[in-house]
Structure 1
Amino acid sequence: MTSTATRAVGVDIGGTGIKGALVDVATGELLSERVKVATPRGAEPDDVLAAVVSVLETLQVADTDIPLGVAFPAIVKEGRTLSAANVSQTWIGFEAEAFFERGLGRDIHFANDADVAGVAELRYGAARDQSGLVIMTTLGTGIGSAILYRGELIPNAELGHLHRARHKRDAEAWAAYSAKEREQLSWKKWARRLQWYYSHLEFLFSPDLFVVGGGVSKHADQFLPLLELDTPIVPAVHRNNAGIIGAAALSAG
């Protein structure tokens, strides 16, 4: 989608919350208050659509032609959701983009939530002007990831699902921020898990920069200095707003 719009709306759908705002796509700054509603229990398509409509109505943009981008916690390919992270299994193989466009009565740009967060950091944040390979990870309920190479997004990287054979589970089950909370780990003990994870990514990809996002990035000084890597690792600039900003930016072209 191409556009000459200077403003766009971003909506970020998550497993626990759905949030949105109006964004200045030249600067990446929010032009409105961030509106957030709870993700409906079970996160079935019709209920999620109704919650998105509620966000747009609160923002007073439900019946406008302002470009709209929607971020979703799934692999997204040609408008279809091929996975379902913390939402109903109904979304697997679902024509999600067409569903939202029918329900909202407008065209949208629909993409994976970690990918759009990566775009936000690429255009307006920590990955801006980086010429090599950047890997962004979002540490939250799981581990989302975005691969950015020479200013371009390589979509649908699911690096949170790298397998840790010793523990017979995905890396995100062992190293996501939710694991720290669930097991009441200290920053130091959690950093040991992150050390394994980022060292493994470093071995596989030889990146030029790691960017760490998610709400926990506001506490980056508590854990990033504990990591010993050859690759620079920095906190994301836009934290939990990155999904909103990136979705809006992609919708505007």
Structure 2
Amino acid sequence: MKVLGIDIGGTKVRMGVVDESMNIYLDKKIPTTFPLYNMLEKEVINILDEHPDVDAIGIGTHGFVDSKNGRVVYATDLLPGWTGTEVKAQLEEATGLRVEVDNDANCAALAEARIGAAKDYNRTLCLTLGTGLGGGAIIDEVLLSGGPHGGAAEFGHMILYPNGVTCTCGRRGCFEQYVSGTALRRRIKEASLPYEPEELFTVDDPKAKQLIREFTYDLAVIISSLQATFDMEVVVLSGGVAEASDYWMDDLLDQLKPMLLNDIDVKIAEFKNDAGMFGAAQLVL
């Protein structure tokens, strides 16, 4: 079985024709242009003309997604005009194929749970430490997604510090304001340190080490709180911040251990740029 996996981001859209073994028959990257749906439908039809053996289409996209109906409930200005788009219904009518749509972080989590770092576990939690904080939960091999407002598993917008730093969502103290690339940049500025986030973990500076300690403490609190909700077997960390984990993983585990109800495994994601496309394909495999 071959399927088309599509990962929609703010600057580029990646499309890949893959099979159950993740063999890639087409890998295409194009700039994100608007109106987005018009571009998407045109590109999909062109690909199907070249690959008529594609059986279904999976799409991962930025934004809150009603995965049951394949509708974008809300997308930020990163994807103007995307909010409210009935992606599943429109694209199924245009192609005659089954289409499934979900949030991009959920798709990345699905890839790690089924074919990546967590493939040997039944209960997996993925946290994407990027510009913000995304993630997904796969409980007993079922992806937790959707909801009437498309907000299931939006871990980045759970509250860590009430009345804390103002978040892009308008509330204060959200997880992603403390354990993301943006959060690290803010912490560095507040500490008056002369480093970029990617430099922070490698310098021999007591103030930098203290900042890292505070970051890993907050991440440990987040993981332990989520364990009380999901009782997961493994946490998979991905994103740009996680790619520097060799410098801070021991510190995280040291602070995490006394906070846990039960031992869990902590792993780094296997997939980087491929996660969204592979995960979108997994929606229909």
The answer to whether 1:245 aligns with 2:278 is yes
Q: Which amino acid aligns with 1:108?
A: V
Q: Is residue 37 from structure 1 mapped to residue 70 from structure 2 by the alignment?
A: no
* CA deviation vs aligned residue, 1:103-135 (integer Å, no higher than 9, x gap): 56644221221222222112211221213x311
Using the size of structure 1 for normalisation, the TM-score is: 0.79
Query: What runs of 5+ residues in structure 1 fail to find an aligned partner?
Result: none
| Larger RCO (CA under 8 A, 6+ residues apart) | 1
Match of 1:210 in 2: 235
Report the CA distance shift for 1:94/1:9 in structure 2 as closer, same or farther (over 3 A): closer
| 1:118 matched residue in structure 2 | 109
Change (3 A) 1:30 1:190: farther
C-alpha distance in 2, partners of 1:250/1:121? 13
For residue 14 of structure 2, what is the aligned residue in structure 1?
19
Distance in 1 of aligned mates of 2:281 and 2:7: 10
Structure-1 separation of matches of 2:183 and 2:91: 33
Q: Summarize deviations over 1:22-48 as a string: whole Å, max 9, x none.
A: 2232x234344x4323333xxx5x235
The structure whose Rg is larger is 2
Counterpart of 2:244?
219
Distance 1:197 1:92, change over 3 A: same
- Gaps of at least 5 residues in structure 2 are 146-151, 165-171, 189-195, 202-211, 258-263
Alignment of 1:97-246 (within 5 A): 97-102=88-93, 106-131=97-122, 133-155=123-145, 156-164=152-160, 165-167=162-164, 168-181=172-185, 183=188, 184-185=196-197, 186-187=200-201, 188=212, 190-227=215-252, 228-230=255-257, 231-246=264-279
CA contact (8 A) 1:214 1:240 kept: no
Q: Cα 1:170–1:39, aligned 2, differ >3 Å: closer, same or farther?
A: farther
CA drift at 1:181: 4.6
Q: CA deviation at 1:20?
A: 1.9
Superposed, 1:35-114 pairs within 5 Å as 35-40=28-33, 46-50=35-39, 53-54=42-43, 57=46, 60-62=47-49, 64-66=52-54, 67-77=56-66, 78-85=69-76, 87-88=78-79, 90-102=81-93, 106-114=97-105
- Find the aligned partners of 1:87 and 1:93 in 2 and give their Cα distance: 14
Q: CA RMSD in A?
A: 2.8
Which range is displaced more, 185-194 or 155-164? 185-194
Deviation at 1:21, TM superposition (A): 1.8
Q: For the Cα contact (< 8 Å) 2:45–2:95, is it kept in 1?
A: no
Spell out, residue by residue over 1:64-84, the C-alpha distance to the aligned partner (whole angstroms, 9 max, x if none): 341221111223222222222
Structure 2 residue matching 1:239: 3-state secondary structure: coil
Q: Name the CA distance, whole Å, in 2 between partners of 1:214 and 1:85.
A: 20
Map Cα deviations across residues 136-189 of structure 1 (whole Å, 9 max, x no partner): 112223222211112221213111110231412321133222333565442326
